[in-house]
Structure 1
Amino acid sequence: MRTLIFGCILLFTCACVRAQAVFSILLPESLADSALDGRLLLMLSTDDSAEPRFQISDGPETQLLFGRNVTKWKPGTRVMVDATTYGYPLESLAELPRGTYRAQVLLHKYETFHRGDGHTVQLPMDRGEGQQWNLAPGNLLSTPVEITVTADRSAPIELAFDDAIPPIAEPEDTEYVKHIKIRSERLSEFWGRDMYLGAHVLLPEGWAEHPEVEYPLAIMHGHFPDDFGGWRTTPPDTTQPCAYSARFGLDCYNRTVEQEAYDFYQMWTGPDFPRVIAIEIQHANPYYDDSYAVNSENLGPYGDAITYELIPEIERRFRGIGEGWARFVYGGSTGGWEALAVQVKYPDEYGTCYAACPDPIDFRDFTVVNLYEDANAYYLDSKYKRTERPGHRDSLGHLSSTLREMNQRELALGDNSRSGQQWDIWEAVYSPVGPDGYPRRIWDKRSGKINPEVAAYWREHYDLTHILQRDWSELGPKLKGKLNIYVGDMDNYYLNNAVYRTEKFLRSVDFGGEITYGDRAEHCWNGDPTQPNAISRLRYHRMFIPKWTDKVGELAPQGAELDSWRY
């Protein structure tokens, strides 16, 4: 009887605590004139240094996030966030400790797409912010307020939206930097609405004074919130406060970044820098700020759209040579994978690639997971242990998150690969379309169990090492001397692991390119042995453009015009 009474008291206490961690969110009529779809995000923080929406991360400093879908949410009504809502790093509000928090809510809006493949899906269209849920214009949010979670509160905690994130201004053209945006016929047909591709375009010194000259095209892939690393025509402002970089352990790193941008401007306009047109591709989409520059069942034909629509238009407008040998690609991380991928998938359309710290290019080392042999992505295969696989490390091997934790955060931000984050975009690009119109999961987002059928599809379509091996008899003659890879041997995301696999194959076939590792270099080292990672990652243009110029004579077809643009 005593045990039964104690059990009832315990059950009542747990239910009471769970009942107090319930939030009621109001969608005011003043902020919406029709029903809304999207992901409702509740953030709780004990850190008052910034808004909670800017404190959700993969690292140990992260605050709390809980997310749920809303469909046709009518203005003037409320939605509940309770213990059934999925969270990170606590999976449920039932686990929330009593205490005082700063609370904030945000609605990441979804748009309905009636795609050309017959599927109807709801996704967050990029609105100029680069698929950042906490910065996307039009998203609703609330001013952070202090709330207290106690055991004796009988009513839900009420919150309400009171603002919307403002639009982002379009960038303006300058003497050297231009901006281009085109409507893509291929992508518009796929998505069932107008879709656009763009680029930042950096014109060479003397472009206007030499109207008869046609130029090579230097194509940088990756994530670009600004133009060419902030393209700075004036020296750094030393009156501005210094900002410390915890990642690199450097004081005044903000001034270092500004100085690098100014140095590049001086170099670009100086007498000895190669005269080429440099571009940074802009291809944000409903899944991510970057399409991975390949054709995909879920994202559409971005590879063809970039290669056959955007690049020819840039060459037409700005006097590019317009031939494959005169286009070279480079980039880091996502951009590194893209540089290698487009060179492999479009060997005649691009003349050389320089891939720094590329995303996994061999899925036997998909960071730390072998997609073809491992049963579970989150845990080491073991009969008795449950050891989590690492997700992020520093140059000394110290962990800040596990692979499971990184995926848990994404699932809280959005289901159906809609978080706009790294693991979800890999899934969106590489996976076949599922019966519901969303990407098929490579692994169960909660358990980590790998789907062998999806892994087999990934292998045949996007495992770059496998594709090189499978098709080398055809690709080899077209790619000799054109594949160059650079990575730190302590890459934060273990990206060097896949490069080792790729190198083993390429060395066996005399591929004629470079593969270089940076000792203790983290993400995203660019191959410069004279500079630490904090500096090398800022020097992609100045590193790879001269490297290509020095080598183009060996790779260009006989009779190619190599002199007029070298003034």
Structure 2
Amino acid sequence: MRTIFLCFLTVFLCTRVPAQTTFHVTLPESLADSALDGRLLLMLSTDTLAEPRFQIVDGPGTQLLFGMNVNDWQPGTLKTVDATAFGYPLPSLADVPPGAYFAQVLLHKYETFVRGDGHTVQLPMDRGEGQQWNLAPGNLLSEPIEIRLTDDRAAPIELAFTEAIPAIAEPEDTEYVKHIRIRSELLSEFWGRDMYLGAHVLLPAGWDNHPDVKYPLAVMHGHFPADFGDWRATPPDENLPCVDSERFGIPCYNRIVQQEQYAFYKLWTGPDFPRVIAVEIQHANPYYDDSYAVNSENVGPYGDAITYELIPEIERRFRGIGEGWARFVYGGSTGGWEALAVQVKYPDEYGTCYAACPDPIDFRAFTVVNLYEDANAYYLESQFKRTERPGRRDSLGHVSSTLREMNLRELALGDRSRSGQQWDIWEAVYSPVGDDGYPKRIWDKLSGRIDPEVAEYWKENYDLTHILQRDWSTLGPKLKGKLNIYVGEMDNYYLNNAVYLTEKFLRANDFGGEITYGARDEHCWNGDATQPNAISRLRYHRMFVPKWAEKVRELAPAGVDLEGWRY
């Protein structure tokens, strides 16, 4: 009987356990002249509409990703990707069902930094693309090939890099749009190598004809701008192939974008628009496509570098007024948080902020998590069931990804907060440095368990509502009338939740600003109730520059010239 049972068990296991799928990836000598470090990413896709590297997303349409670190990878040798590589959305290669796939590999290169704080870390330096792993120049890439996975596969699947992603051309100056790049002493000292800040500068109409006029500075914060994105000095291209907006359900949305850009050009150069210098900052770094514009233990002193190095240099070169009352900040999402943060942290250096759909400004509502009271970021508290917290929704509340899923995608792209994605940059900016030189985790990336000590550090340094409450006796008089916040009530990432908490405090303290909500509006609504969300999000400059030009009459110091720059 025992013999029969063992024979049955042997047959059962052999028929149920598929052979392990492995991949051999070769680093050709033609693509590397020295050993490389980085994150090796294997992507498998059943969708032929785009390369696999462009199909790794948070939503239901994602394809498969498996990541592993590689160190000292010698040219001409291979690495093995097997079931130990961390996967998203499937945990392991062992979980991939048999079938036909398109396979592609990418090496996201890491650079070694010997930082000024004594830590040595390996991170992917931005190379002009805005910290995008699938677009970064110099990253190695393979041509997608079709493969077939079967239960009885034994031999490894052979892949090899075929190209390096090419460099990105620098934008060229035009009559109105100029570009500036400076070496930052503060950031170079922190990172132990030359570090730069840049900006795209939009000059006011008549700037050349009024050489004695000095102008206010309109600073738009936000994600990495390749050029001055809201600007088009030529009419829309009538032959532009249509690209629809899946998010907004609008056909030929790219044509609408061009129309809005050209309309802004006509408005900016027309007779009635306020004459200011508009700036979009480039501050991509080894962790993300921007720095969050504040000083950070992990990312460096970007707040001081932007405020005391970059902005004064822009004002020097392009005739800015150069005083705090004549600088105002605005932006949406990341830029919304940054606008509010720099106004709070540098109250004398900036005159007003307009924060649209800001990232969480109160960590009691860190999207859907209370960092101070919840034990776990991924699951609701329960004795007998596990309910996952939502990560992204649409205007009807339909959830397309959970908070756990979004974080696991990042973990596949890079460990130690190195994914270059949203949750990791919050961690990089807000957390203290760990013993290994990388950011301390706010929560365990696998389990979601929150670290209360890290949460307390976040609270005292970056929870903007807490900072306002704690320091209101000194901040309140400096910020009166300067704080303005706008958010949709159906923000895709639940960012309205934190605004409700901030509003409660501000309205109880006569803050003198504006807080408005868009009914059923999503991310990133900016207070323009005259346009649908799809259009209003394209109109930050034309909305906030005139708004400030009127508000400054109330906020500017007595006796300053408020007319010379208006013509």
Give the TM-score taking structure 2 as reference length. Answer: 0.99
Amino acid at match of 2:37: D
How big is the shift at 1:239? 1.5
1:331-370 pair list within 5 angstroms: 331-370=331-370
In the alignment, the residues of structure 2 paired with residue 3 and residue 536 of structure 1 have an alpha-carbon distance, to the nearest angstrom, of: 70
Partner of 1:407: 407
Q: Could you give the per-residue CA deviations for residues 261-280 of structure 1, whole angstroms, max 9, x where no partner exists?
A: 00000000000000000000
Amino acid at match of 1:378: Y
Does residue 12 (structure 1) correspond to residue 14 (structure 2)? The answer is yes
Are the equivalent residues in 2 in contact too, given 1:330–1:544 (CA < 8 A)? yes
In the alignment, the residues of structure 2 paired with residue 400 and residue 166 of structure 1 have an alpha-carbon distance, to the nearest angstrom, of: 34
In the alignment, the residues of structure 1 paired with residue 559 and residue 27 of structure 2 have an alpha-carbon distance, to the nearest angstrom, of: 66
Amino acid at match of 1:49: L
1:288-437 pair list within 5 angstroms: 288-437=288-437
Are the equivalent residues in 2 in contact too, given 1:229–1:538 (CA < 8 A)? no
Partner of 1:96: 96
Are the equivalent residues in 2 in contact too, given 1:18–1:93 (CA < 8 A)? no
Q: Could you give the per-residue CA deviations for residues 192-246 of structure 1, whole angstroms, max 9, x where no partner exists?
A: 0000001000000000000000000000000143333251112211222222111
SS in 1 for 2:210: coil
Partner of 1:36: 36
Q: Could you give the per-residue CA deviations for residues 43-68 of structure 1, whole angstroms, max 9, x where no partner exists?
A: 00000111000000001000000000
In the alignment, the residues of structure 2 paired with residue 412 and residue 13 of structure 1 have an alpha-carbon distance, to the nearest angstrom, of: 30
How big is the shift at 1:421? 0.2
Amino acid at match of 1:530: T
Are the equivalent residues in 2 in contact too, given 1:355–1:486 (CA < 8 A)? yes
Q: Could you give the per-residue CA deviations for residues 136-183 of structure 1, whole angstroms, max 9, x where no partner exists?
A: 000000000001111222210110001000000111000000000000
1:66-465 pair list within 5 angstroms: 66-465=66-465
In the alignment, the residues of structure 2 paired with residue 340 and residue 461 of structure 1 have an alpha-carbon distance, to the nearest angstrom, of: 14
Are the equivalent residues in 1 in contact too, given 2:19–2:154 (CA < 8 A)? no
In the alignment, the residues of structure 1 paired with residue 59 and residue 429 of structure 2 have an alpha-carbon distance, to the nearest angstrom, of: 26
Amino acid at match of 2:213: V
In the alignment, the residues of structure 2 paired with residue 356 and residue 248 of structure 1 have an alpha-carbon distance, to the nearest angstrom, of: 19
Are the equivalent residues in 2 in contact too, given 1:243–1:252 (CA < 8 A)? yes
How big is the shift at 1:566? 0.6
Unmatched segments (≥5 aa) in structure 1: none
Are the equivalent residues in 1 in contact too, given 2:224–2:284 (CA < 8 A)? no
CA gap of 1:466–1:6, structure 2 versus 1, over 3 A, is farther
Partner of 1:565: 565
Q: Could you give the per-residue CA deviations for residues 52-95 of structure 1, whole angstroms, max 9, x where no partner exists?
A: 00000001000000000000000111101001110000010110
Amino acid at match of 2:81: V
SS in 2 for 1:425: helix
Are the equivalent residues in 2 in contact too, given 1:132–1:420 (CA < 8 A)? yes
Percent of aligned pairs with the same amino acid: 81
Are the equivalent residues in 2 in contact too, given 1:88–1:412 (CA < 8 A)? yes
In the alignment, the residues of structure 2 paired with residue 118 and residue 7 of structure 1 have an alpha-carbon distance, to the nearest angstrom, of: 57
In the alignment, the residues of structure 2 paired with residue 473 and residue 7 of structure 1 have an alpha-carbon distance, to the nearest angstrom, of: 74
In the alignment, the residues of structure 1 paired with residue 154 and residue 372 of structure 2 have an alpha-carbon distance, to the nearest angstrom, of: 51
In the alignment, the residues of structure 1 paired with residue 16 and residue 311 of structure 2 have an alpha-carbon distance, to the nearest angstrom, of: 61
Q: Please, what is the CA RMSD of the aligned residues?
A: 0.9
In the alignment, the residues of structure 1 paired with residue 272 and residue 252 of structure 2 have an alpha-carbon distance, to the nearest angstrom, of: 30
How big is the shift at 1:544? 0.3
In the alignment, the residues of structure 1 paired with residue 488 and residue 298 of structure 2 have an alpha-carbon distance, to the nearest angstrom, of: 31
What is the total number of aligned residue pairs between the two structures?
Answer: 565
Superposition misfits of 4+ residues, deviation over 4 angstroms: none
Amino acid at match of 2:267: M
Amino acid at match of 1:7: L
Partner of 1:503: 503
In the alignment, the residues of structure 1 paired with residue 15 and residue 414 of structure 2 have an alpha-carbon distance, to the nearest angstrom, of: 32
CA gap of 1:4–1:560, structure 2 versus 1, over 3 A, is farther
SS in 2 for 1:112: strand
Unmatched segments (≥5 aa) in structure 2: none
Are the equivalent residues in 2 in contact too, given 1:293–1:342 (CA < 8 A)? yes
Does residue 516 (structure 1) correspond to residue 516 (structure 2)? The answer is yes
Amino acid at match of 2:147: I
In the alignment, the residues of structure 2 paired with residue 269 and residue 257 of structure 1 have an alpha-carbon distance, to the nearest angstrom, of: 19
In the alignment, the residues of structure 1 paired with residue 466 and residue 16 of structure 2 have an alpha-carbon distance, to the nearest angstrom, of: 52
SS in 1 for 2:472: helix
SS in 2 for 1:5: helix
Amino acid at match of 1:330: Y
In the alignment, the residues of structure 2 paired with residue 80 and residue 390 of structure 1 have an alpha-carbon distance, to the nearest angstrom, of: 35
In the alignment, the residues of structure 1 paired with residue 9 and residue 169 of structure 2 have an alpha-carbon distance, to the nearest angstrom, of: 60
112-121 vs 143-152, which moves further: 143-152
SS in 2 for 1:228: coil
Q: Could you give the per-residue CA deviations for residues 383-422 of structure 1, whole angstroms, max 9, x where no partner exists?
A: 1110000000000001110000000000000000000000
In the alignment, the residues of structure 2 paired with residue 385 and residue 480 of structure 1 have an alpha-carbon distance, to the nearest angstrom, of: 47
SS in 2 for 1:499: helix
In the alignment, the residues of structure 2 paired with residue 92 and residue 555 of structure 1 have an alpha-carbon distance, to the nearest angstrom, of: 58
In the alignment, the residues of structure 1 paired with residue 315 and residue 116 of structure 2 have an alpha-carbon distance, to the nearest angstrom, of: 29
In the alignment, the residues of structure 2 paired with residue 18 and residue 449 of structure 1 have an alpha-carbon distance, to the nearest angstrom, of: 34
Are the equivalent residues in 1 in contact too, given 2:395–2:490 (CA < 8 A)? yes
Amino acid at match of 2:98: R
CA gap of 1:7–1:378, structure 2 versus 1, over 3 A, is farther
In the alignment, the residues of structure 1 paired with residue 543 and residue 284 of structure 2 have an alpha-carbon distance, to the nearest angstrom, of: 26
Are the equivalent residues in 2 in contact too, given 1:51–1:144 (CA < 8 A)? yes
Amino acid at match of 1:367: T
CA gap of 1:147–1:93, structure 2 versus 1, over 3 A, is same
In the alignment, the residues of structure 2 paired with residue 268 and residue 3 of structure 1 have an alpha-carbon distance, to the nearest angstrom, of: 83
1:489-500 pair list within 5 angstroms: 489-500=489-500
220-229 vs 509-518, which moves further: 220-229
Are the equivalent residues in 2 in contact too, given 1:232–1:261 (CA < 8 A)? yes
In the alignment, the residues of structure 2 paired with residue 457 and residue 260 of structure 1 have an alpha-carbon distance, to the nearest angstrom, of: 42
In the alignment, the residues of structure 2 paired with residue 159 and residue 10 of structure 1 have an alpha-carbon distance, to the nearest angstrom, of: 33
1:462-473 pair list within 5 angstroms: 462-473=462-473
In the alignment, the residues of structure 1 paired with residue 5 and residue 216 of structure 2 have an alpha-carbon distance, to the nearest angstrom, of: 81
Are the equivalent residues in 2 in contact too, given 1:377–1:443 (CA < 8 A)? yes
SS in 2 for 1:229: coil
In the alignment, the residues of structure 2 paired with residue 230 and residue 485 of structure 1 have an alpha-carbon distance, to the nearest angstrom, of: 21
